[in-house]
Amino acid sequence: MGTGSPLSNADWLVGLWRAVREPLVVAALTVLSTSAIAAPFYVPSGSMEPTLAIGDAIVASKFDYGYSRYSMPFSMGPASDTRLMERLPARGDVVVFHLPRDPGVVYVKRVIGLPGDRIQMRQGLLYINGKATLLKAMGRGHVEMEDGGALPAERFIETLPGGVAHAIYKLAWNTPLDNTGEFVVPAGHLFMMGDNRDNSLDSRVPEAQGGVGFVPMENLVGKAKIVVGSYDYRNAKQFWTWPAELRLSRFLSVIN
């Protein structure tokens, strides 16, 4: 009766590689996709209504503007004033970025001002380089509140220089954010605003006052492209109502 020979070190290593190669490939592809291609994010506030709703799950593509340390997991990498393969966003792009005064926090806003632009709010109207943007009334809507309530708001289509048109909400016309000084966007920076104009902490509020201020190009993560799903968790009170709070109409909708 013969006896089996023990495995050699080479055979043992081959067996180990066969056992772990598939998980390693999956892990590598996951890191690659979240580092270089796209990443998911969740919308916890209503500052971008009506474009984005509280409870939206969105995907941002990372290749549109090139890459910086904030394109990498855990923001790994050296600080830099430029991005690898850098491309400037267009006015009107909805972007995901790290908050300059607290890079651990991620925001999503709309690009309103490019380097060198002059931005000002006058009586609720947005002026870019001295010219008022066009507003077209589109009826009324409701601004979602974090407590589950809603406020009636006027809905407009705003057209930016270059022709990008997008929806905004206005609750009033005399808030502190409706009349500002003129902001001149520095080189290498962007000016961000929320579409929910009276309920958005954005570049109209300086960093020193707890706002966003000007956003360095380095802080961009990517361009928000699609809403992959949406759930109104604010009104999901009892477990039997949870399925009804899925916003199926928002699933796989393109972000404009």
Q: Cα–chain-centroid distance for residue 102?
A: 16
Residue 172's pLDDT band (cuts 50, 70, 90): very high
Active site residue 47: yes
Q: Would you place residue 145 in the very low, low, confident or very high pLDDT band (cuts 50, 70, 90)? A: confident
pLDDT-derived band at 254, boundaries 50, 70, 90: very high
C-alpha triplet 152, 157, 161: angle, nearest 5°: 145
User: Which of 109, 170, 200, 203 is the catalytic position?
Assistant: 109
Section 207-212 average pLDDT:
94
Q: What is the model's pLDDT at position 101? A: 96
Average pLDDT, the chain: 86
The domain locations on the chain are 28-254
Q: Over the stretch 23-67, which tens digit does the pLDDT of each residue have?
A: 544 444 444 445 556 788 889 999 999 999 999 999 999 989 998
pTM of the predicted model as reported, rounded to 2 decimal places: 0.82
Residue 22 is classified by DSSP as H
Q: What is the DSSP code (8-state) at residue 231?
A: B
Q: Specify whether the CB–CB gap between 207 and 215 falls below 8 A.
A: no
| Residue 109 falls in the annotated catalytic set | yes
Q: Which CATH number fits domain 28-254: 3.80.10.10, 2.40.50.1070, 2.10.109.10, 3.40.1160.10?
A: 2.10.109.10
Closest CA to 200 of 15, 47, 36: 47
As a whole-number percent, the residues of the chain with pLDDT over 90 amount to: 64
